[in-house]
Amino acid sequence: MLEPDPKVVRELLTRYASLRIAQAERERPEAARELADVSYTLCVMMATTAVHDAVARADALLLAKGRAQEVGSWDADGESGLSLAV
């Protein structure tokens, strides 16, 4: 099985969290559609059918990648490898 790119997973988790916050503050149809799209993409990428499972798997993937790196190391793009899942 192919493993998703951690940078893409991190970006999706960040977008998912931002949209959830935006919807909690003020529901808007366009944000709801984008949240549905991001949720679907996370589910497909993480091979799940429920967004909560997808978030949990994505967080576990990023945690595993973070442990694989040396503590305090940074990659070429200046990313620390830390999870941003909420």
CB atoms within 10 A of CB 84: 17
- Domain ranges across the chain: 6-64
3-state secondary structure 16-77: HHHHHHHHHHCCCHHHHHHHHHHHHHHHHHCCCCCHHHHHHHHHHHHHHHHHHCCCCCCCCC
Q: What is the pLDDT of residue 62?
A: 93
Flag whether pLDDT at 82 surpasses 60.
no
- The CA distance from 12 to 35, in Å, is 10
* pLDDT tens by residue, 18-40: 999 999 999 999 999 999 999 99
